[in-house]
Amino acid sequence: MDRKPDFTDEDIGIRAFHIRREQAAEKALDKIRAGLGRDFLKLRNDEIEKLRWLLGEVWTMLGFYEWEELKFSILTFDDVDRLLNIADDILSRKVIGTKAVTEAYELIREASKKAEYVEEE
């Protein structure tokens, strides 16, 4: 009996992509949590979910090596607050998603550069 599968190779590829994005965002969020320490507790659950979503969007936009160079643990609470504002702007359609996600990436990249500068001193 020749049965048609319930899912295609494309479905599998899409699901694998979503899993990798979720894992990358969660790993970045863990680094942010570790870097902020007790300040992380100031974030509400909905803010954490929004941040996780935005991190996933940034991951989607970047290549592997660019993502791996980012130092999420160095982000300050003010940086996280700015990221949440960017996420709010995207979700409320105040700004175009790609422009705002690029802004989020630049914010994280700049913080990462500061971390490298401090490490070199």
Residue with structure tokens 């709010």? 88
Question: Computed from CA positions of residues 101, 104, 108, 113, in that sequence, does the dihedral angle turn out positive or negative?
Answer: positive
Q: Quick check: is 4 in a domain? A: no
Q: Quick check: is 30 in a domain? A: yes
pLDDT digits 0-9 by tens, 47-78? 999 999 999 999 999 988 899 999 999 999 99
In one letter, which amino acid is 93? Answer: R
**59 near 25, Cβ under 8 Å?**
yes
DSSP per position, 60-90:
HHS-HHHHHH--GGG--HHHHHHHHHHHHHH
Note the pTM of the prediction, 2 decimals: 0.86
Domain count, the chain: 1
The boundaries of the domain holding residue 93 are 9-120
pLDDT digits 0-9 by tens, 6-19? 778 888 888 999 99
Q: Quick check: is 70 in a domain? A: yes
